[in-house]
Amino acid sequence: MLISEYERKIVRKICDEIIKHDRFFLTTHQVPDGDGLGCELAFSIVLRKLGKQAIIVNEMLPSAIYSFLPGYSDILPIEKYPEIKLIPDAAIIFDCSNKERIGRPLSFIPESVAIINIDHHQGNTQFGHINWVCENCSSVGEMCFFILEELNCVDKEVAECLYVAILTDTGSFRHHFDTRTIRIAERLLSTGINPESIADHIYNSYPVSTLKLLGHALVSLQYDMDLHIAWTVLDEQMLMETGAFEQDAEIIVDMLRSIGNVDFVFLVKERKNEIKFSLRSKKGFNVRLIAEKFGGGGHDGAAGFSMTGITLTDAIEKFLRYLKKHQSKRQVENG
Ligand code: 5GP
Ligand code: MN
């Protein structure tokens, strides 16, 4: 049995809610990743097959490495949304621990709509009218599988989107997954999707600009062997010089993670109004606890936070000062 009694009930409740509504607004967190995007696309395919209308609106367009997925080209840039005359009666929010993580699309969700919140982050604020938060789930893709299967709608196209959600959020089945994840992946593969071709799209299709950006990031690599950390920066100049997009920067933080003998790694991104930290743990180290100290959150193995009103250099200094000050406590917290 893949699903618990509680899960069966909440899945049924979500399906009943979906059946009741006609016009859906689908969104995920800022800088959409494979998990949020895969769920949005899977739902939009299914909702349309059920004769409903669905629109995907994100803070920014997802990385072009996902452009092979069915429905990707229908995703509207946020600027175009006001031209669309769709007044939603329901919104499904994927992979967001709180409403603010949605960014600008939040302002397009009318007060009156039914909000369905599907997430796998610890500390989710339960901001929906219906909330399903599964902290032990590898990905929201894993959760959406149960909903879409209950609706009897997991065909090859839907399976491809859900497989990408699970593949990317587990770092290609390297972290935060269990036997249930593998069983779901097996069910998705049994629809006839091609895992090798999908992996080729996801991991071998970067634009040259992304690799150039990675080059800049690696040149700026720093480490502190006393603190057992390594980090690098992505400033606006690097993005401008290479012509790369922040959406394509996931490869950089993954590359940092491949460094041995550190507790965790982090990437610091300079944005217009904030400095964004992306933390990735090593050896089971808990980075969520650190991110929460700075008002952020995430998973034990991957977390983030931002600082505002501060320069890139000062933000890094502030963070390093904190780490130095709390080094012994940090070791205790992480056992
Ligand atoms: P990333 O580093 O890829 O932006 O995020 C890693 C994980 O941390 C994701 O699960 C993401 O949702 C979460 N995360 C990143 N930044 C924030 C933040 O500012 N607040 C919260 N609550 N979660 C964050
Ligand atoms: Mn996720």
Mean pLDDT of 251-256: 93
Which ligand ends up closest to the CA of 279? 1
- Are 291 and 297 spatial neighbours (Cβ–Cβ below 8 Å)? yes
Nearest to 25, CA basis, from 117, 88, 110, 107: 88
For 31-68, give the DSSP string.
S--HHHHHHHHHHHHHHHHTT-EEEEB-SSPPPGGGTT
> Tell me: the pLDDT tens digits for 289-324?
999 999 999 999 999 999 999 999 999 999 999 999
Whether 333 has a pLDDT exceeding 90, the answer reads: no
> Tell me: the pLDDT tens digits for 118-127?
999 999 999 9
Which ligand ends up closest to the CA of 176? 2
How many whole angstroms separate alpha carbon 114 and alpha carbon 138? 26
- Dihedral over Cα of 232, 302, 122, 320: its sign: negative
Q: Is the CB of 306 under 6 A from ligand 1?
A: yes
Mean pLDDT of 76-84: 91
Whether 1 has a pLDDT exceeding 90, the answer reads: no
**Percentage above 90 pLDDT, the chain:** 91
What is the reported pLDDT for 119?
Answer: 98
Probe residue for ligand 1, chosen from 93, 121, 265 as the CB with the greatest number of ligand atoms within 8 Å: 121
Q: Quick one: tokens of 50? A: 């059920």
Q: Ligand 1, atom 16: nearest CA belongs to which residue?
A: 304
What is the reported pLDDT for 250?
Answer: 87
Report residues near ion ligand 2: CB below 5 Å: 35, 95, 169
Q: Is the CB of 303 under 6 A from ligand 1?
A: yes
Q: Which residues of 299-331 are buried (b: 16+ CB within 10 A; e: fewer)?
A: bbbbbbbbbeeeebeebbeebeeebeeeeeebe
State whether residue 182 is helix, strand or coil.
helix
Write down all domains in the chain, each with its CATH number in brackets: 5-203 (3.90.1640.10), 208-334 (3.10.310.30)
> Tell me: the pLDDT tens digits for 318-332?
999 999 999 866 665
Whether 11 has a pLDDT exceeding 60, the answer reads: yes
Q: Is the CB of 249 under 6 A from ligand 1?
A: no
> Tell me: the pLDDT tens digits for 16-47?
999 999 999 999 999 999 999 999 999 999 99
Q: Ligand 1, atom 13: nearest CA belongs to which residue?
A: 298
What is the reported pLDDT for 332?
Answer: 57
Mean pLDDT, the chain, whole residue set: 95
- Are 333 and 289 spatial neighbours (Cβ–Cβ below 8 Å)? yes
State whether residue 112 is helix, strand or coil.
coil
What is the reported pLDDT for 290?
Answer: 97
Q: What are phi and psi of 322, to 5 degrees?
A: -60, -45
Probe residue for ligand 1, chosen from 250, 305, 319 as the CB with the greatest number of ligand atoms within 8 Å: 305
**Percentage above 70 pLDDT, the chain:** 97
Q: Is the CB of 30 under 6 A from ligand 1?
A: no
Instruction: State the pTM of this model.
Output: 0.95
What is the reported pLDDT for 18?
Answer: 98
Shortest-distance atom of ligand 1 to CA 29: 12
Q: Where are the alpha helices (DSSP H) in the chain?
A: 5-20, 34-49, 140-150, 156-169, 179-189, 195-203, 208-219, 236-242, 250-257, 288-293, 312-325, 327-333
Q: What are phi and psi of 58, to 5 degrees?
A: -120, 160
> Tell me: the pLDDT tens digits for 67-77?
999 999 989 89
- Are 291 and 276 spatial neighbours (Cβ–Cβ below 8 Å)? no
Which ligand ends up closest to the CA of 275? 1
Which ligand ends up closest to the CA of 299? 1
C-alpha of residue 293 to centroid of ligand 1, in Å: 13
What is the reported pLDDT for 249?
Answer: 86
What is the reported pLDDT for 55?
Answer: 96
> Tell me: the pLDDT tens digits for 141-159?
999 999 999 999 999 999 9
Whether 335 has a pLDDT exceeding 60, the answer reads: no
> Tell me: the pLDDT tens digits for 271-290?
989 999 999 999 889 999 99
Shortest-distance atom of ligand 1 to CA 33: 3
